[in-house]
A and B are shown apart, each in its own frame.
Chain A
């Protein structure tokens, strides 16, 4: 635990330094650019395309925040961060915001002095196996060889799961997703385990996707969400409510296409407040009153972002599942906008 003490001390130092020059929001406005810590490339969630422009589920949230704060979804600089550098980059002020499929855990909240402001994707660890293995539940995987990425929480979850169910497995450790996929296809392991969203993406790109199944068990909770530094609550509020604005927009049926139309015709008071037609909700965050309207117009509501990047209809083809709105049996629930 020496390492975490070290990082904790570093974080504390930064906290002190950070308090001195808090007001991230003002810094961003002065800079005219949002610095968003992103993945170095994760299918569906964030990666640059052939022309170098970033796209993905996490990337769209950064763009929504930029649209709210700066009025332009393209005023974002995406800073690729690796698993090792991500939190330090945030703490040291190299990025304003980290949207990089990071799991919300208690030690990251306390020890690393970070604030997870929302959960934009509820993920969990699952298993993919070949159909002809004849397995329909992860509990039948006794004695199986399992491909697993080293140095991740998935490794620990896997050990816990097999121990609790009194079955054995043989780990085949791999460095990253592409190697895992290669080993799995080559038959070096019977099962591949990682976050369910990653499994779906891997399965979708296999040459014989129909011969592989993802087992129903989800053995861990992986709430992924945007992260900000401790000590600047106003900035955390801005990110949190930009995200909730996208959720409320889906709940109320406001889309990027119809936002102007809704603004002109709506009689719903909450929608009016959300779009800045009444009240001064935006100003209370230190933003323009139509900030959240701009976000919705730029990237669409939560449902649109989901279906455009990872949802049914894309190659990855993820179901909404836990990420459906609370009104449709999911966990995505925004507090009232008032």
Chain B
């Protein structure tokens, strides 16, 4: 009986050849797959090596404790040899507060810090509308941030308690009725204005009452005279309030119930405080204005249409620098002598207009992308113009425009550095220049740019990540 050669058991699998597995496989496939890729890889490695060779010692020899640039140089020379280079971060250590707050009085640093923390609480209902879990996490983050930074900035204990109670209250509200948090968002502009510029607590309250009057007149009059005339009447009533009743009322209330914090003039603002004030105000006001302009441009009413087109084309056709110079120089000529129209306010208004014109075109792109059937369907449902826009058109149009809108926002935030040209203390050029004007730090070059650039990157990267999250969340099609 011939012995068969059939195996009865399976051989264990051999490992793949060494060139087809692990790191070597990865290298072969990704870096050395063709002669051309070999050349590119070697070239890339050489470039990285050269970059590291020139920059790495500079980073490694960083000096954090010194009084001046020359002292930095001495320390680097003493520790790393006479020809070594090293970063002098001691400048940041000594001047970081000017990069962040400008000339804001150090004793009042808690005010911008509190406003900054509450900014996220105010944004929360807009960013994560009605999502209990995300809102709780965000508000928890705000609470932790405020606890830490208010402690570090030596805020008065009463402020500490009020801020913590406020955020805790909002946390409790979120657990019960997350939708109600939007009321805080509406109050936030007045609160921040008061926190940052100070003065009597009554001025923002009385100014906000103007909006209440606008709304009240609108609600009372709209059943009688129709929507648009009622809105007009409301605006007139509010303007009359602000022009004639506002100031006397504030004075009266202030004398009856005095409560104020030290007033801070606009020229004390600088650094990232200034950039964020201009950026956040510009962003939050340019979006609604941009939407209205985009709708106006598509309107059937000729006056509305041509006004919108004229505004958009004029503002978009002019460089932002020109608008800033207009804000800082030309307006002074046209206003009566002695008018003190705050320079930051002037700049914010023109920056907002600038961003609104760009946003209007972005949103118009979104509107144009909607199939005509959507408009017709809205009409067929019997919705009036504003309902159709609010319920059907805009949600879709805004969704497709999200990436472009956020791009505009990021651009706007970075453009805030241009205010340096009208003598405001922006973080990049303004503060850097006064730091370099100090004989101790004259000649310092990369460090301020890197520091300011890093902070800008963090903020802009955050905005960009949020827009990607929003796109994922709102994705309803299945492409």
Chain A interface residues (CB < 8 Å from chain B): 10, 13-14, 17-18, 20-21, 27, 39-44, 46-52, 77, 79-82, 84-85, 88-89, 92-94, 176-179, 181-182, 201-202, 204-207, 314-316
Contacts and interface: CB of A to CB of B under 8 A. Distances in A.
Given A80-B423, A85-B423, A40 B434 contact: yes
Given A80-B425, A205-B442, A207-B73, 10 more contacts: A10-B333, A40-B423, A43-B436, A51-B106, A77-B267, A80-B424, A89-B329, A178-B444, A204-B439, A206-B443
Contacts of B95: 50
B443 A84 contact: no
A181 B446 CA distance: 13
B456 interface: no
Contacts, number: 106
A21 B430 CA distance: 33
A101 B433 CA distance: 16
Given A20-B337, A43-B437, A84 B421 contact: yes
B445 interface: yes
Interface of B: 69-70, 73, 94-95, 98, 103, 106, 265, 267-268, 325, 328-329, 332-333, 337-338, 420-425, 430, 433-439, 442-445
A60 to B, nearest CB: 15
Contact of A21 (B94, B338, B442, B443): B338
The listed residue with most B CB atoms (<10 A of its CB), out of A40, A49, A94, is A40
A181 B436 CA distance: 12
A80 B333 CA distance: 19
B69 A205 contact: yes
A157 to B, nearest CB: 23
B329 A92 contact: yes
B332 A93 contact: yes
Contact of A178 (B103, B267, B430, B445): B445
Nearest to B97: A50
Contacts of A52: 98, 103, 268
A40 B433 contact: yes
B423 A81 contact: yes
18 contacts: A41-B436, A47-B434, A47-B437, A47-B438, A48-B98, A48-B103, A50-B95, A82-B421, A85-B423, A89-B329, A89-B423, A178-B443, A178-B445, A181-B443, A202-B443, A204-B442, A206-B443, A207-B70
Contacts of B442: 43, 178, 181, 201-202, 204-205
B333 A13 contact: yes
Contacts of B437: 39, 41-43, 46-47
A44 B329 CA distance: 28
B325 A84 contact: yes
B339 to A, nearest CB: 10
Nearest to B73: A207
A8 B306 CA distance: 35
A136 B437 CA distance: 29
A167 to B, nearest CB: 30
Contact of B98 (A50, A85, A88, A176): A50
Given A17-B337, A85-B422, A315 B94 contact: no
